[in-house]
């Protein structure tokens, strides 16, 4: 197997890709107008007929679809096929109220498998390798989504799911999988627990890690690559659009963005306040139109994720790329008028020898003033050496904290209290997504 899963599509010249997208879009718009009352109403209210949209360049004339629209149509009213034709249902647990429900036809699942198979190859996986799948199985799309694509590719899937770290470590040693997929925070946990138990890197056979479902930066990539002795790449996706496999970073093009499989998912980046489309390379809200989905097509879905999109002329594939997600627009902290994503702090940690990339931001309000506190752990060796009483007052710790505080202030514009903690004091991922921010202002 070459370095592509589907070379024809993955290297299709942009003009051909555009033609394919335009044909698919026109078909899609006619279909949702007929089948989904929500879209018929939306088009009618805006005085738009499906045939008015000739191609992707006209998409901006259509309104966005937002999460609230999905909630208002809970559970199945946005489906474009009779429920009898749906063969799988997933749901993403919202923080409040009802989850977002998504449905798949047989063809939708085939497409899901295809984009995940492409993503796996892009990450370094090959047929015949074993995949340790530590994404959660269940209503979450991570577990079953990766499972289907890996099966299609011809890998042996080990459906471990999340949690039970002891058992995961046993399987990693005994079954010797070459590839692992899980959240970046859980990869940190696995690397750390191996070290704690004295399991050497040579005792496992991992070569590639496919990490996603939450924002992460180079800081964590370095820790995971070192700790598990792997090539770690980013996989992005969301249940509404399909699940994992909307985009994937190539293991030979690390740090240069992730390919969006744009023959199926047409991306736009728009201004978060005005909704106006932004030029390539500019940061804004990522918006997707699903070009081929049958059961649950979405037009201009507002993901709330912040990134930029751009073509990489020196890349193996022709598809557009997206930068790593900075965070979700609704998770952006506004501190004394300055915007802050936790990833902006995380990425700075890699420049400090002695710090472990385990951190947490806590936001409080003192009167009318927002205060942020950054807690970061020091590495185990330093913690062991300096640990116990008086840790925080130790010269090494004090000067490290001071330097970090200055670096954060210089880079984010925000003065925050920095506290270095002994190793092991900050919450870890137990298998799933990890929240690195505590916002206590609303309480």
Interacting residues with ligand DLL (CB under 6 A):
92, 135, 140-142, 212-215, 234-239, 243-244, 303, 305, 325, 328
Pick between residue 181 and residue 418 the one whose CB is nearest to ligand DLL.
181
Block residue for tokens 């609704």? 330
Measured from the CB of residue 255, what is the shortest distance to ligand DLL in angstroms? Answer: 14
Measured from the CB of residue 431, what is the shortest distance to ligand DLL in angstroms? Answer: 12
Give the C-alpha separation, 163 to 134, whole Å: 8
Pick between residue 135 and residue 352 the one whose CB is nearest to ligand DLL.
135
Measured from the CB of residue 223, what is the shortest distance to ligand DLL in angstroms? Answer: 16
Pick between residue 33 and residue 140 the one whose CB is nearest to ligand DLL.
140
Q: By the 8 A CB rule, do 58 and 25 touch? A: no
Pick between residue 93 and residue 399 the one whose CB is nearest to ligand DLL.
93
Measured from the CB of residue 50, what is the shortest distance to ligand DLL in angstroms? Answer: 27
Measured from the CB of residue 140, what is the shortest distance to ligand DLL in angstroms? Answer: 6
Measured from the CB of residue 244, what is the shortest distance to ligand DLL in angstroms? Answer: 4
Measured from the CB of residue 325, what is the shortest distance to ligand DLL in angstroms? Answer: 4
Phi, psi of 67 (to 5 degrees): -55, -40
Give the C-alpha separation, 79 to 37, whole Å: 10
CB atoms within 10 A of CB 14: 12
Pick between residue 296 and residue 352 the one whose CB is nearest to ligand DLL.
296
Pick between residue 142 and residue 177 the one whose CB is nearest to ligand DLL.
142
Pick between residue 236 and residue 251 the one whose CB is nearest to ligand DLL.
236
Do strands 437-439 and 355-366 pair parallel, antiparallel, or not at all (unpaired)? parallel
Q: Which residue is nearest to ligand DLL (CB)?
A: 212
Pick between residue 50 and residue 212 the one whose CB is nearest to ligand DLL.
212
What residues form DSSP beta bridges with 372? 363
Measured from the CB of residue 68, what is the shortest distance to ligand DLL in angstroms? Answer: 15
Measured from the CB of residue 238, what is the shortest distance to ligand DLL in angstroms? Answer: 4
Pick between residue 2 and residue 95 the one whose CB is nearest to ligand DLL.
95
Measured from the CB of residue 67, what is the shortest distance to ligand DLL in angstroms? Answer: 10
Pick between residue 141 and residue 412 the one whose CB is nearest to ligand DLL.
141
């Amino acid at each position: 197997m070459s370095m592509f899963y589907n070379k024809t599509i993955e290297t299709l010249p942009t003009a051909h890709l555009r033609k394919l997208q335009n044909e698919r879009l026109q078909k899609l718009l006619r279909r949702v107008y007929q089948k989904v009352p929500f879209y018929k109403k939306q088009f009618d209210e805006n005085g738009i007929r499906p045939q008015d949209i000739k191609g992707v360049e006209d998409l901006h004339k259509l309104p966005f679809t937002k999460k609230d629209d999905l909630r208002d149509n809970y559970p199945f009213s946005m489906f474009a096929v009779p429920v009898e034709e749906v063969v799988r249902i997933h749901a993403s647990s919202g923080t409040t109220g009802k989850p977002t429900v998504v449905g798949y036809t047989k063809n939708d699942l085939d497409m899901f498998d295809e984009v995940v198979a492409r993503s796996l190859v892009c990450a370094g996986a090959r047929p015949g390798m074993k995949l340790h799948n530590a994404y959660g199985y269940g209503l979450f799309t991570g577990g079953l989504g990766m499972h289907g694509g890996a099966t299609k590719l011809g890998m042996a899937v080990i459906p471990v799911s999340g949690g039970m770290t002891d058992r995961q470590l046993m399987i990693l040693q005994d079954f010797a999988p070459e590839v692992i997929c899980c959240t970046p925070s859980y990869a940190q946990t696995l690397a750390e627990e191996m070290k704690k138990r004295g399991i050497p890197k040579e005792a496992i056979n991992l070569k590639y890690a496919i990490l996603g479902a939450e924002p992460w930066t180079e800081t964590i990539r370095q820790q995971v690559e070192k700790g598990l002795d792997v090539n770690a790449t980013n996989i992005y996706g969301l249940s509404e659009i399909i699940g994992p496999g909307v985009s994937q970073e190539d293991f030979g093009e690390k740090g240069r963005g992730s390919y969006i499989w744009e023959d199926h998912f047409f991306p736009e980046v728009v201004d978060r306040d005005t909704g106006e489309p932004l030029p390539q390379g500019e940061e804004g809200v990522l918006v997707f139109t699903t070009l081929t989905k049958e059961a649950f097509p979405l037009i201009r879905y507002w993901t709330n994720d912040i990134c930029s999109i751009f073509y990489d002329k020196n890349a193996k594939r022709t598809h557009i790329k997206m930068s790593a997600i900075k965070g979700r627009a609704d998770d952006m902290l506004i501190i004394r008028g300055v915007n802050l994503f936790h990833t902006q702090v995380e990425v700075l940690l890699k420049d400090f020898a002695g710090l472990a990339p385990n951190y947490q931001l806590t936001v409080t309000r003192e009167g009318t003033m927002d205060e942020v506190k950054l807690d970061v752990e020091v590495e185990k060796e330093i913690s062991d050496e300096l640990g116990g009483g008086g840790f925080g007052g130790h010269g090494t710790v004090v000067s490290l904290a001071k330097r970090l505080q200055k670096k954060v202030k210089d880079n984010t514009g925000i003065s925050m209290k920095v506290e270095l903690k002994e190793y092991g004091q900050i919450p870890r991922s137990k298998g799933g997504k990890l929240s690195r921010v505590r916002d206590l202002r609303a309480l």
